[in-house]
Structure 1
């Protein structure tokens, strides 16, 4: 039964890189082959697969055309992954103590 106090467990959040690696492995596509097909350098593909950079909207559209993976899915995966990283970083910063530069909460505000 649904109840507002029930929490959904957080599972592993994957990025577009995870999905691309899986599809590339399945079809036997190399980084250089994918790079040629979508018009970027092999280093660019390597950086994306190693999460050193993330997909742009243009690259997501090119990948959709070549691999059939919806660009909205790829961008959504990356967006969720980056958000999770930011949340983790925010928790670490909170553990170190709030910076005096940030706005202070009013006592009447609840989260």
Structure 2
């Protein structure tokens, strides 16, 4: 039987954008450089880094080939981040 008062472990909740920013900063890669290397516009990269847009399966595969960051990790980070946002939104909605 499940007990609702039991708390589940809180996992890392940063998005793929945070990891991308960190790696880009470490290797001094600009948004324009990354965009050119993976075949998208600089605006697309900017939107991803500012969480206005999320990574697609195709983009994470391109990023993995160019930067060596696991595509599964990137998708997982974004999925967990979006789930956390939905949970926060759900809690806010039920509190009002």
TM-score by length of 1: 0.78
Relative contact order, higher structure (CA 8 A, sep 6+): 2
**In structure 2, how many angstroms separate the alpha carbons of the residues matched to 1:79 and 1:11?**
12
Unaligned runs of 5+ in 1: 97-111
Larger radius of gyration: 1
Residue 13 of structure 2: aligned partner: 13
Residue 84 of structure 2: aligned partner: 84
Following TM superposition, by how much is the alpha carbon of 1:8 offset from its aligned partner in structure 2, in angstroms?
Answer: 4.9
Residue 52 of structure 2: aligned partner: 52
Residues matched between the structures, number = 92
- The alignment's C-alpha RMSD in Å is 1.5
TM-score by length of 2: 0.90
Unaligned runs of 5+ in 2: none
